[in-house]
Amino acid sequence: AGPTAIALAAHHPDRVSKIIMEAAMAAPWEDSTKQKAKLIFGPAERMVWSSLRKMLKLFPDLVMKQLLSEMTTENAEEYLESLSPNDRRFVYDMLATSQSGKGFSLDVDHSVTDISSVQAPILGMYSQKDKSVQYTNALLLKSLAPQCEIYEVDADSHLIWIGKGAREVWDKRLEFLHQ
């Protein structure tokens, strides 16, 4: 999670040489998202993921479309239809194997507070069409950390690792790490 990486770099600069924020939160989560996360990913977390996996097996397109609607500003049905077979498989496998444990419900309470003290170079990769981690996170990150390079990914959703901009994400990551 973005805030965790920032906190580690701020408090232990000798252990962090670079940070890559890929569709990662820099702004605090909205209260409505926090409440929803605590409900869905709190004590009922295992049951939620188990139910989701069962539904995914029975109604894969319906479940993927519903979850993608939370990740894209585009029409989720059209977005799903536009995905290549490999990208659809990625989305399916991601959902079929995900389990947040306590991670996500803890993440929503973290916030980036000390980013200005980070000395390491930062690469932020964000999509304008990401509904779940909006592009305003990129702008906030840049305003708080002048050494941050923002790379606008040509992606249609939060899933910047698939679709038309996926190769550029990989290339940009490697370029940044090799600098």
**Burial bucket for residue 142 (CB in 10 Å: 0-12, 13-18, 19+):** middle
Question: Quick one: fold of 1-28+112-179?
Answer: Rossmann fold (3.40.50)
Domain boundaries, the chain: 1-28+112-179, 30-110
Assess whether pLDDT exceeds 70 at residue 104: no
pLDDT given for residue 34 in this prediction: 72
pLDDT given for residue 155 in this prediction: 97
Residues of the chain by 3-state class (helix, strand, coil), percent to 5: 55, 10, 35
Three-state SS for 104? helix
Give pLDDT tens digits for 125-169.
Answer: 999 999 999 999 999 999 988 889 999 999 999 999 999 999 999
Give pLDDT tens digits for 49-65.
Answer: 889 899 999 999 999 99
Query: Is residue 19 within 8 Å of 123, Cβ to Cβ?
Result: yes
- The candidate with the shortest Cα–Cα distance to 33, out of 95, 91, 105, is 105
Give pLDDT tens digits for 17-60.
Answer: 999 999 998 877 788 877 777 777 777 778 888 898 999 999 99
pLDDT given for residue 123 in this prediction: 97
Mean pLDDT over 70-91 rounds to 97
pLDDT tier for residue 103 given thresholds of 50, 70 and 90: low
Classify the C-alpha dihedral 66-70-73-79 as positive or negative.
negative
Rounded to 10 degrees, the C-alpha dihedral 75/78/83/88 comes to 80
Assess whether pLDDT exceeds 60 at residue 105: no
